[in-house]
Structure 1
């Protein structure tokens, strides 16, 4: 499943979770372009998409024929799956320098209409999953003794609560606190911990938010998304590539003194 070559210590290694589509896919492509060997993770149902992304990354390596990419399916909500993701990455790619804990899910709905089951399922991915990725990536980095970069997926909803998004917004507030605490704990090991906190991004997830609000407000499909664009300072929405560019900087040597930060890439007016 991995088709990896023998490890080369000259290349830095990055894990990206939620890599099958959207932000995760864009981040994986960017970091591979930056010269990282990459380990891609998503749920087992998305294994085909992960395999196709591995093929695309290897095909795009060009003259850099030693560029390596593997995929390791599993749920970030399951500790054994996360541990296996980190262990396989270290074993097959020769180490771990960057963890991008990108996997996340969203849920629209009023508090009164949110079930305990839906709440717990969202928290299992967004909060427990982020915690497990931070924990096991840091353990591996500390063991290696060469520092590292950990990056989490927060949101503008982790800085300000929004109606109809109590579960999602509160989970991102949790990621915010976890990131700032982890930065304090792991700084002495040369590990930085930051998160990106974007506004509206053109992804499948935004389409689901649009569908919810269209139905609730009696709008035409796409009309709610258009209102977001009209309120944006630059009159346009973010793309996955915009966030991938930000992550590329966060894990670069130029960001070595930045830690505990939530970098907001927002199109909204302040």
Structure 2
């Protein structure tokens, strides 16, 4: 495949964790990568760009806040200006808040809604507009979560936003199908990332138990017998990004090692 024929994927929140794993996996699949994250993550962005290039693919780093629709549009413009037409948009960026409902402050609730709901909404809008302008169709993929199917305590705000992503994905699939755009989401379970370290910390503090015990309790409920790795999620996103999923749209797919069943 020549450089002019290569496929391009844009990944938000690509500087670390699941986003980085997705960028590296899609580079291995032969895609060029637009690595997007917040300005504070510039060092991480640069690392991921180098990791993609080390796999023989082109990469460009861009910064912005998905909660700002102008930033989202600019991220696409800058990324496609460097690498060419967009084929896959992965709305991976999101934040978690670990608080009981009674303790959630209005500003905190506003922020998680801005990033996890509005941010995904703006990404869906901007990606669809780009694909329509190109006349190419494309694939839109978002990060949901296991909590889009069954909420966790102290994650009510996060759970609500991920249920919203699941519903938005279904509605967007209905509206965008006429433009040859598919829309799907991936729903990770307990992944070995900083977010789950924070959840364990807050739950064990609340319950007066040793650090690590809350996470271990979750592991005990995983049929696969271990916490997920970011690479496990990236394998699913690889499928959703590729041609084998062309006949699939409107789905939110669990990748949790066997915790929930849908």
Q: TM-score range by the shorter chain?
A: over 0.9
Q: Does 1:37 align with 2:32?
A: yes
Which structure 1 residue ranges, 5 or more long, are not aligned? Answer: 1-6, 62-66
Number of equivalences: 259
Moved over 3 A (4+): none
Work out whether 1:115 is the aligned partner of 2:105. Answer: yes
1:70-149 equivalence runs, <5 A:
70-149=60-139
- What is the aligned partner in structure 2 of residue 49 from structure 1? 44
Matched, 1:211 2:208: no
Gaps of 5+ in 2: none
Counterpart-to-counterpart distance in 1, 2:143 and 2:76: 18
Note if contact 1:8-1:94 (Cα within 8 Å) is conserved in structure 2: no
- For the 8 Å contact 2:33–2:52, the answer to whether it is kept is no
State the SS of the aligned residue for 2:152.
coil
Query: Cα RMSD (Å) of the superposition?
Result: 1.2
**2:224 maps to which residue?**
234
**Could you tell me how far apart the structure 2 residues matched to 1:135 and 1:147 are?**
13
Partner of 1:167: 157
Matched residue, 1:18: 13
Q: Is the 8 A contact 1:233 1:269 kept in 2?
A: no
- Are 2:146 and 2:260, in contact at CA under 8 Å, matched by a contact in 1? no
What is the alpha-carbon distance in structure 2 between the residues aligned to residue 162 and residue 49 of structure 1? 30
